[in-house]
Amino acid sequence: MEVANNVTEFIFLGLSQDPRMQLMFFLLFLLFYVMILVGNGLILLTVFCDHQLHTPMYYFLSNLSFVDIAYSSATAPKMIADFISERKAISYWGCAVQMFTFHFFGCAEIFVLTVMAFDRYAAICHPLRYNTIMSASACTVLASVSWLGALAHSFVQTLLTFQLPFCNAQVIDHYFCDVHPVLKLACADTTLVNMLVIANSGLISLGCFLILLASYTVILFSLRKRSTESRQKALSTCGSHLTVVTFFFVPCIFIYLRPSTTFPLDKAVSVFYTTITPMLNPLIYTLRNGDVKNAVKRLWSHKISLKEKQNA
């Protein structure tokens, strides 16, 4: 992408300019990031090692855990390092790479959550045809389409932004390179790009969110004729999914489904879907999911028995 500009790096304002607040944020977000890595890593390890979890639902859950690790890693390490750095700088191409990876894994999360809702719809509304609908090949195709769709989205988003010229403005009023804060620095008319960004990011978020709400509405209606035990199990699983969906989609829609204007609340909202949601996902899926909790117990018991055999 050949762009005539005078900018070789950008400077982040970050979440706070107060040194004491920055130290507190450093410790807090370091803890959050460790929890993201450990929690999602545990889900990946559990699904991989426990053959009872080799089902479509947990195949997509492992995809979601991998996405959460990669998605948070696009912003968290740089943000954490900046809390204890005097100069919060990122190179021009480093900013482009960060924007690309952030939107790639963020869009992948949107599509994976949508596919997970379809999986629950097939399992609850068409139980007799479930194995046919969600065959191994179908799961592979759905996952591949999700990742390829995210790749296309991210490529377009990054290209639209960095084909613009950047003259002298370098200060990004944010803690990572996102589309709206970077577009404000461009020394060109960004009206068309803003509209394309809304059509790209905003409509993807809103469209998938509406599809998710529609699928869960159909699921809830179908549960009326089920037994109490079956209904409770389905509601528990769907409740976990709905919680994750709400935590992730509502902030995304707030940020991206509007023109390129920034509000003081934007940084706090961004923290929620870039860091808090990936941290909460493992807790939501493990604490409300008996299969995962039992699998973790089996994995832990197997580890203890191996140690006992080694020590015997």
Question: 137-156 pLDDT, tens per residue?
Answer: 999 999 999 999 999 999 99
| Mean pLDDT, residues 100-116 | 93
**Which range among 11-20, 89-98, 153-162, 299-308 shows the weakest confidence by mean pLDDT?**
299-308
pLDDT digit string, tens, across residues 8-24:
899 998 888 888 889 99
Interatomic CA distance for residues 141 and 143, integer angstroms: 5
- Report the pLDDT value the prediction gives residue 202, as an integer from 0 to 100: 83
pLDDT digit string, tens, across residues 54-64:
889 889 999 99
- Report the pLDDT value the prediction gives residue 223, as an integer from 0 to 100: 77
**Which range among 24-33, 191-200, 279-288, 299-308 shows the weakest confidence by mean pLDDT?**
299-308
Both tokens assigned to 216 = 């869960």
Residue 303, classed as helix, strand or coil, is: helix
Record the pTM.
Answer: 0.88
More confident residue, 196 or 239: 196
CB-CB contact of 281 with 40 (8 Å): yes
Interatomic CA distance for residues 33 and 71, integer angstroms: 11
| pLDDT over 70 (residue 169) | yes
End-to-end CA separation in angstroms for the chain: 63
| pLDDT over 90 (residue 235) | no
**Which sign, positive or negative, has the C-alpha torsion 76, 264, 188, 197?**
positive
More confident residue, 223 or 155: 155
- Report the pLDDT value the prediction gives residue 90, as an integer from 0 to 100: 94
| pLDDT over 60 (residue 3) | no
Interatomic CA distance for residues 252 and 202, integer angstroms: 8
Would you place residue 1 in the very low, low, confident or very high pLDDT band (cuts 50, 70, 90)? very low
Ordered domains of the chain (ranges, CATH): 9-291 (1.20.1070.10)
Residue 8, classed as helix, strand or coil, is: coil
Would you place residue 187 in the very low, low, confident or very high pLDDT band (cuts 50, 70, 90)? confident
- Report the pLDDT value the prediction gives residue 310, as an integer from 0 to 100: 62
**Which range among 50-64, 102-116, 131-145 shows the weakest confidence by mean pLDDT?**
50-64
Both tokens assigned to 304 = 């203890």
Q: Give the rounded percent of residues in the chain with a pLDDT score beyond 90.
A: 36
| pLDDT over 80 (residue 302) | no
| Mean pLDDT, residues 20-32 | 93
- Report the pLDDT value the prediction gives residue 191, as an integer from 0 to 100: 85
